């Protein structure tokens, strides 16, 4: 099964409720919510009041991606705001094991994200404890970037490790996912596709989501 997680970073902020309701009516699985602090990445995105508003209207789980320094300070906050998945960056966490186990203790999914330069080896020892690995396929901070082809190799490498160790860890791909490349991304072993401009910039977002989820061309 392929999970589709439309990224609200690419939505129309002036019509956020409309776009959330559109995703509610689609066959998407999660809402991907990027939290940026302007320090870990060179951009600022949603604050807590916006996430609270998103949760009021969202009928699907919130997949919260913390692209921030000291993410451990905000785990409780985003849990209380309704996150079903919280992912932190390996590059921002000197005590990753502690943070992953704390997220899991809250009864939600714990994820770890890797920037394009980070090796799979950096999470090898924590992998059995992780529910989701978010492989960044662009440099984080801005939407609309092109997919980094090398990510396909990272996906297949990580998938082989997950199978070898008989884990249930999901591989999430975040950045540059499009109708032109989603099939090869899934073929490499991805389980979750974060789709931003691909969905919200589409003429028919509902059908775009359906095509990616079921790998069939409905157009």
Long-range contacts of 78-82 (CB under 8 A, 24+ apart): 78/35, 78/51, 79/103, 79/106, 79/108, 81/48, 81/51, 81/52, 81/55, 82/51, 82/52, 82/55, 82/58
Q: Which residue carries 């009041």 as its tokens? A: 49
Whether 34 is catalytic: yes
Catalytic residue among 19, 29, 34, 63: 34
From the number of C-beta atoms within 10 Å of its C-beta (0-12, 13-18, 19+), residue 219 rates as exposed
Catalytic residue among 37, 131, 174, 191: 174
What the block records as the tokens of 210 is 């359906």
Whether 37 is catalytic: no
For residue 170, list its beta bridge partners.
Answer: 132
Q: Could you list the active site residues?
A: 34, 174
């Amino acid at each position: 099964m392929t999970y589709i997680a439309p990224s609200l970073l690419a939505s129309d902020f002036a019509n956020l409720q409309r776009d959330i309701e559109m995703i509610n009516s689609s066959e998407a699985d999660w809402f991907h919510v990027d939290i940026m602090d302007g320090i870990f990445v060179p951009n600022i995105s949603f604050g807590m009041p916006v996430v609270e508003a998103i949760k009021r209207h969202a009928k699907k789980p919130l997949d919260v991606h913390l692209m921030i320094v000291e993410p451990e300070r905000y785990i409780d906050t985003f849990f209380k705001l309704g996150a079903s998945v919280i992912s932190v960056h390996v590059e921002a966490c000197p005590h990753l094991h502690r943070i992953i186990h704390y997220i899991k203790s809250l009864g939600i999914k714990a994820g770890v994200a890797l920037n394009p330069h980070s090796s799979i080896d950096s999470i090898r020892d924590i992998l059995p404890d992780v529910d989701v690995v978010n492989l960044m396929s662009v440099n984080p901070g801005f939407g609309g970037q092109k997919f980094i082809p090398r990510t396909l190799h990272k996906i297949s490498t990580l998938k082989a490790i997950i199978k070898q160790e008989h884990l249930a860890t999901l591989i999430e791909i975040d950045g540059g996912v499009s109708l032109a490349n989603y099939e090869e991304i899934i073929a490499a072993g991805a389980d979750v596709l974060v789709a931003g401009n691909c969905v919200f910039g589409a003429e028919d977002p509902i059908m775009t989501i359906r095509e990616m989820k079921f790998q069939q061309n409905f157009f």
